[in-house]
Amino acid sequence: MRGMSDTAVGHPLLVDLAGALPADRVVTDPDVAAGYAHDEAEWAAHGRPLAVVRPRSPEEVQAVVRACLAHRVPVVPRGAGTGLSGGANAVDGCVVLSLERMDAVHEIDPVERLAVVGPGVVNDHLRAAAAEHGLWYPPDPARLAVVDDRRQRRDQRRRRLLREVRRHPRLRDRAAGGHRHRRAWCGSDAGRRRAWRATTWSG
């Protein structure tokens, strides 16, 4: 188990999980676990999980659920974390059951229009697999909304950085010089430094 937090050290549930699962399945590092504590719903409350478990098979999922049931520890299943409702948000002391590694496309039946996949499959991968059989798997509008929102925020950051470059002649002149000036810029203004670097890389 990676990086034990203070609350996780010696916890009987984690001892049982360590005996039932391969070593890389259980994560207790609080910094890593924090990334699994909530989805894209920034407004929704979330707690601090005891651990994150990333199984690779149904049998490992069963082992996790049985252990949590025996120790009366709540289980919060999680996919890719792109939800917008907070449905996958952790509660304090829970085990986040991340299904991201169970992402195989097991079967596509073009006659029955049926796909059998793992719970962690990515929509784009399933769409590509269906296309190989002459089928089309429609995208999830909610997921596209998340991607579009991320793209908009990224574009907004780029526009702010470019405005910063235009406002400061010295920064603009150095950015226009290309990669050879990349290490020469050591100004104290972190925002200007980031703006200059972003412009250099994108050029």
Give the model's pLDDT for residue 124.
Answer: 84
Pair (22, 91) in one structural domain: yes
Q: At residue 25, does pLDDT exceed 50?
A: yes
Pair (74, 21) in one structural domain: yes
Pair (133, 185) in one structural domain: no
Taking the model in full, what pTM does it have?
0.63
Mean pLDDT, residues 39-48:
89
Pair (151, 77) in one structural domain: no
Pair (134, 148) in one structural domain: no
Q: What is the mean pLDDT of the chain?
A: 79
- Whether 82 maps to a domain, the answer reads yes
Least confident of 28-32, 107-111, 126-130, 193-197: 193-197
Q: Read off the CATH number of the domain in which 53 is found.
A: 3.30.43.10
Q: At residue 4, does pLDDT exceed 60?
A: no
More confident residue, 157 or 21: 21
- Output the six-digit token pair for 131: 């296309």
Q: At residue 173, does pLDDT exceed 70?
A: no
Q: At residue 197, does pLDDT exceed 50?
A: no
Domain count, the chain: 3
Pair (145, 72) in one structural domain: no
Rounded CA-CA distance 73/164 in Å is 50
Rounded CA-CA distance 182/201 in Å is 9
- Whether 72 maps to a domain, the answer reads yes
Pair (46, 107) in one structural domain: no
- Whether 28 maps to a domain, the answer reads yes
145 pLDDT band, cuts 50/70/90, is low
pLDDT above 90: percentage of residues in the chain: 50
Pair (71, 134) in one structural domain: no
| Domain residue limits at 94 | 12-98
- Whether 7 maps to a domain, the answer reads no
- Whether 132 maps to a domain, the answer reads yes
Per-residue b/e over 97-117, b at no fewer than 16 CB within 10 Å? Answer: bbbbebbebeebeeeeeebeb
Q: At residue 189, does pLDDT exceed 60?
A: no
Pair (180, 193) in one structural domain: yes
- Whether 6 maps to a domain, the answer reads no
Q: At residue 27, does pLDDT exceed 80?
A: yes
Give the model's pLDDT for residue 82.
Answer: 79
**Over the stretch 84-126, which tens digit does the pLDDT of each residue have?**
888 899 999 999 999 999 999 999 999 999 999 999 988 888 8
Mean pLDDT, residues 119-144:
83
Pair (134, 182) in one structural domain: no
Pair (76, 35) in one structural domain: yes
More confident residue, 15 or 85: 15
Pair (16, 75) in one structural domain: yes
- Whether 4 maps to a domain, the answer reads no
Q: At residue 71, does pLDDT exceed 70?
A: yes
Rounded CA-CA distance 56/43 in Å is 31
- Whether 30 maps to a domain, the answer reads yes
Least confident of 33-37, 65-69, 113-117, 194-198: 194-198
